[in-house]
Structure 1
């Protein structure tokens, strides 16, 4: 009995004298919410060019820096999915036109290194799109009235594959005296390319086959209302609709889209009731959640219009708000849809709005960055 008591006492003493096993709790610091964009600009000096924007609302940081100077009017700029390859242009005229450029981007410091550049095949290239496999880029030459296709090698070199010259004109003798290709957009499947031509008042649909030496083949032409001037377009979230911004009439046209065929469905105005003055509708974007459509309008309007979609499929106006500056040529939304950034060519700034995730409505914030003639915003944080 005494031996049992002695053993229990020894075990109790050992338990009390053994070191405590404590778990150290270290408070983790959340990564600040941040966003990155490339900015295309019009330039007035050799030190200007492509810019990079960093925005961290939680840290109250909005920073813009030039990452590729010495490029004349890089008005449109896009990047590969991994952000390591960048394509831009020089929106100029000459013989035989502007330039298309490819860069290597270092995500660590955002520096750009020029890999290759080629003539665009027409005057004033203004838009670039990249194929789903990222092995082709297609650009539109606005004044030249043509589109050019370039094959992209694995190391970023550009090889001209095809140039297609549009023909024709429309009803406005000052602005539609000849073709003016304003955008080239791949459909969601990457099988067709839709080309908006402001000068001819048409949307051209081209079949895209990358197994061919010349990958584009025209499959259809779809006229809009004479005098509209189609500029940019986007697809609905399900890919069954094409939404076109008509620059010269400040209208939004909705088309059903199936097998490369566009069928008119609805037409909406970007103008407030009773508005009088000049217009210049510019960019169209679908919200990341697919619930709302946003369209910018320049001229005397300087607005962002918001449209929602009813269960019936009808689009309805939600808001028409001042863009916060002059000449909102381009804008973009953050990948989470929380913010919308507007680039103003004439007031030389980028203004940031908060977006209501339910209604889609915008509220202007105090964040604003000074930038020389910003005309395009490409989101890097997808």
Structure 2
């Protein structure tokens, strides 16, 4: 990801100079969007702070609402979806990526076997893919061959409902996340207020078997989750109550540790917590809140082992459905579905606090950012 080389010189003595070579870094992200015409689709964003460049281009047009997109660690295979309802559901698509152009070429396409797929996950060994179907209330598993072709293995249907009759009259699977060791798949269901823990057996024709389910507070609407770097904690965002839950995870068992509100006690207005991310250095948790709040919350772990809110700031736009950090943790990019833009924040590497910059780029309904180059 190195860009141009900038060479500077500084005098160390009166008689000599030391040549310092600094790499002008370009950070690249795949951008998932909601589309309205055939010119829109998957985008690539390239950000070079030293040159004050923030550029975005469409690299795979003609796809319908690729609202989630990710790549393998090599960056040569990309996986996306079409968040649509159709028979038998939306679509799951694998693509090859040419990083020089950049461009994407379709390899294979299969149905998601459920309406409105909204989330994808790669197994740690990158040989399996799972897809969450929001309206379908189910999720599917696929095998990935060496060329990137997909083979459908299994679809699991959830049943049940919860207390909010307007949004929880049926299951709504919102995310599927592998544990770092690849032994488990955690499935957050907004409709049933549960996080399901499935055992994952890569050698089985149907690799997923239900182990147990963690019940959240009725009306929470669990949405997205991330693991701590050691795999012993889960950070879970509750969409409908705008809460962050810290959970312990031990051999497939979930135990509650801490619950933190993302809104003030006197807050009035619509809410909709969306994304949760852990900083690359593991020091901070970041959570976005949509609705009328359009905010980013920053948390830090203190000496008592608990997480504390250290900052709450505007996201710089309207409806921050998604955001991500650069691999070195120096910047956070916030994508806004309603204001059609992506805004850049600088991150203090010591405290984790954010400062909004003037860097901003326009793009039609950005709803997911995937960091390339990991």
| TM-score, scaled to structure 1 | 0.92
C-alpha distance in 2, partners of 1:134/1:295?
26
C-alpha distance in 1, partners of 2:284/2:19?
39
The answer as to 2:173 corresponding to 1:160 is no
In structure 1, the partner of 2:317 is 325
Classify the secondary structure of the residue corresponding to 1:32: strand
In structure 2, the partner of 1:216 is 208
Task: Say if 1:272 and 1:320, in contact at 8 Å, map to a contact too.
Answer: no
In structure 2, the partner of 1:377 is 369
Equivalent of 2:272 in 261, 273, 280: 280
- Post-superposition offset of 1:27: 6.0
Classify the secondary structure of the residue corresponding to 2:263: coil
Task: Say if 1:46 and 1:71, in contact at 8 Å, map to a contact too.
Answer: yes
For structure 2, the 5+ residue unaligned runs are 1-16
Deviations 1:45-67 (A, max 9, x none): 10100000000000111000000
In structure 2, the partner of 1:134 is 126
For structure 1, the 5+ residue unaligned runs are 1-24
In structure 1, the partner of 2:69 is 77
Task: Say if 2:291 and 2:319, in contact at 8 Å, map to a contact too.
Answer: yes
Task: Say if 1:287 and 1:337, in contact at 8 Å, map to a contact too.
Answer: yes
What is the 5 A alignment of 1:225-304? 225-304=217-296
C-alpha distance in 2, partners of 1:314/1:113?
46
In structure 2, the partner of 1:68 is 60
In structure 2, the partner of 1:118 is 110
What is the 5 A alignment of 1:13-28? none
Q: Which structure is larger by alpha-carbon Rg, 1 or 2?
A: 1
In structure 2, the partner of 1:39 is 31
In structure 2, the partner of 1:186 is 178
C-alpha distance in 2, partners of 1:342/1:34?
17
In structure 2, the partner of 1:19 is none
C-alpha distance in 2, partners of 1:110/1:161?
31
- Post-superposition offset of 1:28: 7.2
- Structure 1 consecutive aligned stretches of length 4 or more whose deviation exceeds 2 Å: 25-31
In structure 2, the partner of 1:306 is 298
Q: How many residues align?
A: 358
Name whichever structure is richer in strand by fraction: 2
In structure 1, the partner of 2:4 is none
Classify the secondary structure of the residue corresponding to 1:255: strand
Equivalent of 2:354 in 358, 362, 366: 362
In structure 1, the partner of 2:5 is none
The answer as to 2:101 corresponding to 1:97 is no
C-alpha distance in 2, partners of 1:290/1:93?
37
Classify the secondary structure of the residue corresponding to 1:293: strand
C-alpha distance in 2, partners of 1:380/1:109?
15
| TM-score, scaled to structure 2 | 0.94
- Post-superposition offset of 1:31: 2.6
